[in-house]
Structure 1
Amino acid sequence: MKKTLVLILTFVLSYNASIVSQTISNSVFDKTDKYVKEIMDTNGIIGLNYAILVDGVVVHKKQLGYANYEHKVPMTNDKLFAVASISKLFSSTALHKLLLEKNRSIDETIGSFLPERNDLPSSWLKLPLKQLLSHTSGIPDQIDYQVYLAPRDDNEVINAMKDKPFDFEPGKKSKYNATGFFLLRLVIEKLSGEDFETHMKKRYFEKFKLNSAEYGGFKKVVKNRVKSYRNVNGKLEMFPLSYSPTMYAAAGININLDDLTKWFQNLYNEKILPKETLDKIWTPVLLNNGKPGYFGLGWEAAEVGENINAVGHGGAGISSIRHFYGKGLKQNISVIFLSNGAKNWKVYPNSIGANIANIVMTELQ
């Protein structure tokens, strides 16, 4: 019976993909491939995998370049990428799931979730989850003080940052912030009763069969992971994407294109969160002056056209996931663009994803 159900599901998914792809001529994918190859040459991108989804169904994917530049190892579809801050989409989604299960709110403060934490500054404990998720809290950002994403433990972050002044009045503006996701990790652990990595593995990696997904920085041996690169003073060198468990809510996932796509499809198809929750998460949070900030509740979010919205996140400036939706589109379009770096970024991944989506949008008008 189980085998029969799997066969039926496979047929249904294949049928749906066929129906969606029939609305798009193959020539549009020739155009997206041509654009990606041109942008690869322009930027000197080492290697990449990208996928296009229409209404949550994969209609095209491609791999180009090298997984390892110095040894000229070809890029393949099964290669893992260090997706850096794209990890925030996983952790923020997990937090929203726990809030629903525990009947808690984003408007509650850190202190209401962590009343026993007398090691955290009182000014931090007064912050609502909403401001941390939307990067509008003004809490001092550890990156600004060279406390990067691989601290030894929680105490290192707290001791280094507890006496630092806020960057701005909470709610005044949007400013990308890693310290906020350090605190959100503590809340996830408190609500789940598990350490963060265990919770994510059990509730997401294992449940949704994301078999490639694994936390770890560049020092960890991760099977089948690409080598990442960056340009420093005109020279190509290894990109040391260094992460430790303390900051895994902010960054640290290694994953291949198919599994990242599978996770997004489960989210899109409401297998993780209901639509009404996603709508809230994907709506830009308003600042104190009433204008929208740059983030929703854990996702970058913006209106990019008449009745067209874009949500997603970048990763270390070398990868991106972008989802375009709204009444201004006949069909929703998602682009996942994963790379292992470039010799000289002239067009960045967020823009590359938007340009790929625009080619598809033109076909669907």
Structure 2
Amino acid sequence: MFFKQHLLYFVLAYVFLGLLVLTHIVVPKVRAQTVNNLSSETASYQGLQADEFMKTWLILGPIPVFDGEPNPQDQETQKKAFATDFLTKHGGEKGIQPKPGLTHRAGEKEYQWLLVHSKSDIVDLVEIYGKKEFVVAYAWAEIDMPEAKAALLGVGSDDGVKVWLNGELVHENWIGRPVQKDDDLVPANLKKGKNQLLLKVQNQQLDWGFACRVLGSEALEGKLISAAGRGSLDDLELLLSRGVNVNAKNKYGVTALHSAKMGGYEDTVKFLLSKGADPNVEMPSEEQLIEAIFKEVIKGASPGAAVLVAQNGNILFKTGYGYANLEHHVPITPETKFRIGSITKQFTAAAILQLQEQDKLSVNDKLSKFIPDYPRGDEVTIHHLLTHTSGIHSYTSKPDFLKTVTVEVKPEELIESFKNDKFDFNPGEKWLYNNSGYFLLGYIIEKVSGESYADYLKKHLFEPLSMNDTGVHHWSAILEHEAAGYSYENGKFQKALNWDMSRAGGAGALYSTVDDLYRWNEAVFNGKVLSESSLKAAFTPVTLNDGSKANALGDGGYGYGWMFSEIRGLKEIAHGGGLNGFSTYLTRYPEQNFTVVVLTNCLPPPPDPGSLNAQDIAQIYLWKQMKSRESFATNTAVESSVYDAYVGRYGYPQGAILMVTKEGDRLFAQLTGQPKFEIFPRSETEFFWKVVDAQITFVKNENGEVTHAIHRQGGQEFEAPKLKEEVPANVDPAVYDAYVGQYDYGQFGIATVTKEGDHLFAQLAGQPRFEIFPRSETEFFLKVVEAQVTFVKNDEGKVVKAILHQGSVEIEGTKIK
């Protein structure tokens, strides 16, 4: 997710079974199992055990959302299905009383209520029905309560969910997300006797499922502590109203008041104190708090992490969690070696600056000096390469990159594979993260020094700093204590795609340990690696040709191999790294002489039970020095009529667009390629997300017109201009017929153009399908991203190609079908 910077966040995949269709009745295959406290004949529970997930349900589905071919961009049809009662013939969503085997007609098909006993806490609808997209399922259960109970349900869903209790709609959340247990807190006033619980779960794409349970005291107390750490006053009000103990401790000794204090939410602290929070409860030590983070995320036989924390030259905390090798049960220790990915860029930049200090090159030298035949090499300088402003297309962004990443390559061969690619923009005009630039820098180091990249770093950086456990990774070397890389896919850990690190070069080929990276930070920030002038240059945020500060990584800055941000008022200088199987982060708070190193060996990791966030670790030690921040409480006095002015598109970094829409009395925001989330009013102009610590403020000019939005997250902020809404031209849809077909964009893959009714759609292989809108009979534009498509005809009037324009980039696709 765009908003989760520096977090390890997760993709959940499922194994699914096939669909069996008998005549027109949908009857899936499922596995059954015995479950306590319920009738084996139906989904009927005799009371509910707190914290036990409801695994037995009567389920009906999969009911399609679309009559024909699904259109992911057609939100109106999807929301219409979410609002539609598909059960009207049998009592409706408010009164349905299903039985196993009961059939129900929806549209042209009949569906059968099926008794399902899930073997896991998450009811996996893909396992039941097979992979189905844009479909609806209902899940029903009856709960016979010996006494009335005011409970809170923990509900997770993929994707949107509605919940009815005894015919009353008690919860709805139109959202796109993976299943995370207890994502939603749902008040449930269970009466004495029989209670009917109905869930409606609507899938968009990919995985599909849900989880539901009555939360017990321990889970509720954990929710309270978590809500306090997020400054979520809405959730705190709800939890405390249900009798949760305001002074409850988790198993690590943390209270809600501790969590709010560390998070810097002063008004949350005041609120908790007003509710009886005890200020005299001793806060756990920093070491205990870090243990709490890692032990909650890394559990059982799983890959893990090594972490180191230091300040003023002293190591405060250092340990390992999980396994470096699952197959051989080798634990991770501080001595474990990890591939560090793009943290390598710091070393590449330092080597370049060392060579400049030796008068062997200048950051103002042109690329053509080192590679004379490089296209536009006279326009690109080493400075451009160091700062990601060259405009050279990043080779790791090419669609076929991962197809060859396991094969060793010589630097000249890899450079040859991308040097003729079109530039993304003119050098110095924009900022765009670029691995090609740093691969070229690694090659330049070799040409100028006369040594291999590996030998140069070893001789001039690693050996002088006693970094004995750091080097350029090579497949032939047998490294002691090396971590294997894993990915979490299809519900299990498996070996990750194993890069041949010759493909990463100066952009990311190094391995290291937490101790060595600590030594590196100490040396860099104490002037033992670079001169004062070189260090100043490295730590200066790049500016563009027009004199503006580059909008790097949100509103952060980027220098020579280091990126800069401000975390709750404290300056941070850092870099992260990521490749299949490894995610890493090295940070320094220079004014506090504070270092955090986190190295992990799983990417993508399992579904998110938390995060291994170096900034969270820094907060544990530095929270007293950090700025406070406002808590989040929905201002119910704000009239929804003010939302109308905010509806529209806002330009976010890297060409992304934030779509703001109003649905009834609610406001939603959706970033390109991400789910849609509701945003909640703090005031008439300030809104916040509940799914992540992020806020947006809408800004008006003197005429009352919204001109831009200010996005704030993680101590950073940037302006997002409100984009002018372009009205599609009035073009005869019959014109679209000539454009239907497939277009070959070479390294970027095949794009398919389709027509549905009076609408035209385009889809690049492996990406979502988007509607394109006419600007003229041959020119079209997208609304979800700043891009245009131009169809080109030959002299005979036949369409021969389509040109994609995005920013300053133009890519031609030849029509092949």
Question: Which residue in 2 is equivalent to 1:174?
Answer: 431
**Are residues 282 and 41 of structure 1, via their aligned partners in 2, closer, same or farther at CA, if it must alter by over 3 Å?**
farther
Match of 2:390 among 121, 137, 154: 137
Question: Which residue in 2 is equivalent to 1:320?
Answer: 585
Q: Secondary structure at the match of 2:376?
A: helix
Structure 1: how far apart are the matches of 2:438 and 2:594?
28
1:214 lines up with 2:471 in the alignment: yes
Question: Which residue in 1 is equivalent to 2:181?
Answer: none
Q: Secondary structure at the match of 1:231?
A: strand
Structure 1 residue 132: deviation in Å?
A: 0.8
Q: Deviations over 1:81-118 (max 9, x none)?
A: 11122112111111111111217432222224x2xx33
Match of 2:551 among 271, 284, 293: 293
Letter in 1 for 2:619: N
Match of 2:415 among 136, 158, 170: 158
Structure 2: how far apart are the matches of 1:314 and 1:244?
14
**Are residues 273 and 348 of structure 1, via their aligned partners in 2, closer, same or farther at CA, if it must alter by over 3 Å?**
farther
**Are residues 195 and 345 of structure 1, via their aligned partners in 2, closer, same or farther at CA, if it must alter by over 3 Å?**
farther
1:310 lines up with 2:573 in the alignment: yes
Q: What is the TM-score of this pair, normalised by structure 2?
A: 0.38
Q: How many residues align?
A: 331
Structure 2: how far apart are the matches of 1:235 and 1:194?
43
Structure 1 residue 75: deviation in Å?
A: 1.7
Structure 2: how far apart are the matches of 1:84 and 1:218?
15
Question: Which residue in 1 is equivalent to 2:613?
Answer: 352
Question: Which residue in 2 is equivalent to 1:256?
Answer: 513
Question: Which residue in 2 is equivalent to 1:121?
Answer: 374
Structure 1 residue 80: deviation in Å?
A: 0.9
Equivalent residues in 2 for 1:188-207, closer than 5 Å: 188-207=445-464
Structure 2: how far apart are the matches of 1:107 and 1:304?
32
Letter in 1 for 2:573: A
Letter in 2 for 1:302: S
Letter in 1 for 2:539: W
Q: Deviations over 1:52-80 (max 9, x none)?
A: 12134322212111111233222222111
Q: What is the TM-score of this pair, normalised by structure 1?
A: 0.81
Q: Is the 8 A contact 1:65 1:75 kept in 2?
A: yes
Greater C-alpha radius of gyration: 2
Q: Deviations over 1:249-293 (max 9, x none)?
A: 112222222122222222122111134432321232123450333
Question: Which residue in 2 is equivalent to 1:62?
Answer: 319
Letter in 2 for 1:257: V
Structure 2: how far apart are the matches of 1:158 and 1:291?
29
Match of 1:333 among 576, 587, 594: 594
Higher relative contact order (CA 8 A, sep 6+): 1
Match of 1:31 among 278, 289, 301: 289
Q: Secondary structure at the match of 2:431?
A: coil
Structure 1 residue 123: deviation in Å?
A: 0.9
**Are residues 310 and 214 of structure 1, via their aligned partners in 2, closer, same or farther at CA, if it must alter by over 3 Å?**
closer
Q: Deviations over 1:134-166 (max 9, x none)?
A: 112110111122346655213322332232111
Q: Is the 8 A contact 2:305 2:321 kept in 1?
A: yes
Structure 1 residue 221: deviation in Å?
A: 3.0
Question: Which residue in 2 is equivalent to 1:40?
Answer: 298
Structure 2: how far apart are the matches of 1:77 and 1:220?
20
Structure 1 residue 307: deviation in Å?
A: 5.6
**Are residues 219 and 84 of structure 1, via their aligned partners in 2, closer, same or farther at CA, if it must alter by over 3 Å?**
farther
Q: Is the 8 A contact 2:375 2:420 kept in 1?
A: no
**Are residues 214 and 134 of structure 1, via their aligned partners in 2, closer, same or farther at CA, if it must alter by over 3 Å?**
same
Structure 2: how far apart are the matches of 1:247 and 1:335?
24
**Identity fraction in percent:** 27
Q: Is the 8 A contact 2:337 2:511 kept in 1?
A: yes
Structure 1: how far apart are the matches of 2:616 and 2:507?
27
Provide the alpha-carbon RMSD of the alignment.
Answer: 2.8
Q: Secondary structure at the match of 1:319?
A: strand
Letter in 1 for 2:349: S
**Are residues 345 and 207 of structure 1, via their aligned partners in 2, closer, same or farther at CA, if it must alter by over 3 Å?**
farther
**Are residues 246 and 239 of structure 1, via their aligned partners in 2, closer, same or farther at CA, if it must alter by over 3 Å?**
closer
Structure 1 residue 125: deviation in Å?
A: 4.3
Q: Secondary structure at the match of 2:334?
A: coil
Q: Is the 8 A contact 2:518 2:597 kept in 1?
A: yes
Letter in 2 for 1:140: H
Question: Relative to total residues, which structure has the larger strand share, 1 or 2?
Answer: 2
Q: Is the 8 A contact 2:307 2:334 kept in 1?
A: no
Q: Secondary structure at the match of 1:302?
A: strand
Which ranges of structure 1 fall in alignment gaps of 5 or more residues?
Answer: 1-24
Structure 1 residue 47: deviation in Å?
A: 1.6
**Are residues 206 and 298 of structure 1, via their aligned partners in 2, closer, same or farther at CA, if it must alter by over 3 Å?**
same
Structure 2: how far apart are the matches of 1:282 and 1:348?
32
Structure 1: how far apart are the matches of 2:544 and 2:302?
37
Equivalent residues in 2 for 1:221-240, closer than 5 Å: 221-240=478-497
Question: Which residue in 2 is equivalent to 1:95?
Answer: 352
Q: Deviations over 1:4-43 (max 9, x none)?
A: xxxxxxxxxxxxxxxxxxxxx981222222223224359x
Q: Is the 8 A contact 1:28 1:359 kept in 2?
A: yes
Q: Secondary structure at the match of 1:249?
A: helix
**Are residues 297 and 152 of structure 1, via their aligned partners in 2, closer, same or farther at CA, if it must alter by over 3 Å?**
same
**Are residues 345 and 292 of structure 1, via their aligned partners in 2, closer, same or farther at CA, if it must alter by over 3 Å?**
farther
Q: Is the 8 A contact 1:45 1:339 kept in 2?
A: no
Question: Which residue in 2 is equivalent to 1:16?
Answer: none
1:75 lines up with 2:339 in the alignment: no
**Are residues 288 and 306 of structure 1, via their aligned partners in 2, closer, same or farther at CA, if it must alter by over 3 Å?**
farther
Q: Secondary structure at the match of 2:365?
A: coil
**Are residues 285 and 194 of structure 1, via their aligned partners in 2, closer, same or farther at CA, if it must alter by over 3 Å?**
same
**Are residues 126 and 348 of structure 1, via their aligned partners in 2, closer, same or farther at CA, if it must alter by over 3 Å?**
farther
Q: Secondary structure at the match of 1:49?
A: strand
Structure 2: how far apart are the matches of 1:345 and 1:267?
36
Letter in 2 for 1:300: M
Question: Which residue in 1 is equivalent to 2:622?
Answer: 361
Structure 1 residue 211: deviation in Å?
A: 1.6
**Are residues 101 and 191 of structure 1, via their aligned partners in 2, closer, same or farther at CA, if it must alter by over 3 Å?**
same
Question: Which residue in 2 is equivalent to 1:5?
Answer: none
Structure 1 residue 247: deviation in Å?
A: 3.9
Q: Secondary structure at the match of 2:543?
A: coil
Q: Is the 8 A contact 1:217 1:244 kept in 2?
A: yes
Q: Is the 8 A contact 1:304 1:310 kept in 2?
A: no
Q: Is the 8 A contact 2:343 2:585 kept in 1?
A: yes
Structure 2: how far apart are the matches of 1:56 and 1:293?
33
Which ranges of structure 2 fall in alignment gaps of 5 or more residues?
Answer: 1-282, 553-557, 627-817
**Are residues 127 and 322 of structure 1, via their aligned partners in 2, closer, same or farther at CA, if it must alter by over 3 Å?**
same
Letter in 2 for 1:322: T
Q: Secondary structure at the match of 1:32?
A: helix
Structure 1 residue 320: deviation in Å?
A: 0.9
Q: Is the 8 A contact 2:517 2:586 kept in 1?
A: no
Q: Secondary structure at the match of 1:242?
A: coil
Structure 1: how far apart are the matches of 2:306 and 2:474?
20
